[in-house]
Every structure is written in C-alpha cells, then in structure tokens.
Amino acid sequence: MMVSVYLSIYVDDATSSGFVSFVTAYLVLRLISCGQYLYEYLRIKCEYSRRTAINSFIATAISATSLLAQDSAVWRQVLLFAGILVDTVLHSFACPRYHCPLDKNHFVERIGLLTIILLGETIVALFGGSVHEDAWTLTGAFLSFVFIGTFWWVYFDSLHWLEKAKNLVHGGTVVFPHVLLCCGIVFMALLTGFAIEGEIDDMSFRVLAVVGVACFFLGKQIPVFYLYPTTRVRLSINTAAVLLVTLFSTYIPRIQFRLLGMTAGMVLYIILARGAHPDAAYVSDHEGGALMEREGESSGESDASPPVSTGDEPDVASTYVDGSGVDMV
C-alpha cells in the first residue's frame, strides 16, 4: 500500500519529470507480485505460480529498460508498455495451459470494485470544476449526474451473471474487455465535464458521446456474448437501440437536451433488459439447479427433477486462485 500511495503521487507527471519515480514504484510493485507467486510455488508446489513468477519477472525486466532511455520520451513509453503487454500475453497463455481454477465470486467482486471507483471519480469530477450558477448550467450538471447514474444501473444489473457463468475459467475473458468499458467511462467523464462548462463544440461532443457509449457497451457485452451465446441477439438489439438514440441525440441543438436524450437512451436499454436472465445451460452446476427450479415454479412445473450429480464436482477443500494469483481455501 505504501508503494501504491507513492506511485499515485507521480501519476500526473508520469510522462515528464516524474517518470523515473513513477516507473520505479511500478517496478517495485511488480517485484513484490513476483515474490508472492514464488512464495506460493515454494509453499504448495503450484506450477502455475512458478510460471507466472517467471513471466512477471521477464515483463518487469523489459519495463525496467525504460529507465535507460532517458534521451527519448517516446522510447521510454514504448519500453514501459512493451513490458506490460508481454506480461499480459504470457499470463493469458499460462492460465489455460496450467488449468488454474478461478474464484469467480472474489474475482468479479474485484472487477466491480474497480468500476465503482472509476464511476465514483466520474461523479466527483462532475462538480469539481468551476460551475456558473445559471439555470442551464445547473440543469446540465443534474442531467450529467443522472446520465452517469444510468451507467451504474446498466453495469451492475447484470454483473452477477459473470459469477454464475459455467465457462468463466480465465480472468482475461472479463479483464480485457473491461479496458474498453473503463475507456468508455472516461470518455463520458470528459464529455459531461466539458458539457457543464460549455467548452465543447458539436463535433467533439458527438465523437465523445458515440465512442464513449460504444466502448462502454462493448466492454460490458463481450464477456456476456462469450459466456451466454443465447443472449447475443437480444443484447445486440438492445445495444443497437441505445447507440442509435445516442447518435440522434447528439444532433439536438442544445447541450442540455442532448444529455436528456442520451439519458433517455440508457433508460430505454434498462427497460429492454428487464426480465432477462442467464440461460440455465450456461450457468454453473450449483447455480443452474436453483435457476431451473425457479423457472419450473414460475411456469407451474413443480415436478421438475433435481440436478443429478455427475461425480465431477470439485472438492470443497480445494485450493482456488483468484485473479491476482493468491490462493484461497
């Protein structure tokens, strides 16, 4: 935590005078992570932990070379992110190869927490700037707040689907698409901030609005598309509807009315998504049985047979590894 706090101090200057301090803190964090994986390997002889420790050390060494390129700001950034990219690729190959179990509940909780923090920062940023107290500006601030609030609803309304997914065996299925989702939230934060202050032209507003909403829904829907194939048509229609409403709203003359139209598009998606539930065929066994029972009761099929054990269920005392590689019993 101390290193993380130190790193956060230099975030604003990470591309200029604070680059060395920022990268040094990042490298220390990565080495601590390597040490944790190595400790787990020595403790339980988990081959996945050993391979991940080696991969992380290789990636950290590549990022460390950015400290040697002091004469070129471009090469510093290239080398730093090259190490991050190598770490991501190697980790993606290691998980399926070594069949590392994923603690779904804990993993999805962490992803949701990251999104909560980002959305919370967006709300704080709405009212952190200078706002002139006239009716239109206050209306824009209120509509921006409601607009960002609909993102909370849309995201967390289906987050629990990821916990129940039978095919969720690798964290990358959720983590990588969430990069797009986070980019979409950042674009929306920029859009609403500029809209409140009235410092944005029509074309910039249109680009930020459409690209931001598109990135958000791509990041949200890609994991669900993969994990629940039967929902693809419905999700595609709902997503296309909100994108069309967003696009048409950007042509409304006044910014406040544009925000109102975009908010209406998000509310339309919420209405269209009401009543949707994951297909029991793609839900984990312990979740699928309960879901099928609820569906049977709602349709009057009270004689539905309980799920039959196949003998392949994992032992309760098995060791699970969450998204960070820390074992949980």
pTM of the entire predicted model:
0.72
Q: What is the pLDDT of residue 158?
A: 83
Confidence of residue 286 (pLDDT cuts 50, 70, 90): low
Closest CA to 221 of 207, 206, 240, 208: 240
Calpha distance 283→290 (Å, rounded): 10
Q: What is the dihedral of CA 95, 96, 99, 102, to 10 degrees?
A: 60
Taking Cα atoms as reference points, which of 106, 112, 61, 105 lies closest to residue 82?
Answer: 61
Instruction: Determine whether 242 is exposed, middle or buried from the number of CB atoms within 10 Å of its CB (0-12, 13-18, 19+).
Output: buried
Q: Over 80: is that where the pLDDT of 37 sits?
A: yes
Percentage of the chain lying above the pLDDT 90 cut: 24
Question: Tens digits of per-residue pLDDT, 74-122?
Answer: 888 899 999 989 988 887 776 666 666 677 788 888 888 888 888 887 7
Is the pLDDT reported for residue 177 higher than 80?
A: yes
Q: What is the mean pLDDT of residues 194-209?
A: 85
CA neighbor of 86 nearest in space, from 60, 68, 65, 47? 60
Q: Using pLDDT thresholds of 50, 70 and 90, give the confidence band for residue 238.
A: very high
CB-side neighbour CA atoms (13 Å) of 302: 1
| pLDDT for 122 | 78
pLDDT greater than 90 at residue 328? no
CB 123 within 8 A of CB 152: no
Mean pLDDT of the chain: 79
**pLDDT score recorded for residue 58:** 93
Q: Which two tokens stand for residue 226?
A: 């993969």
Across the range 6-15, mean pLDDT stands at 80
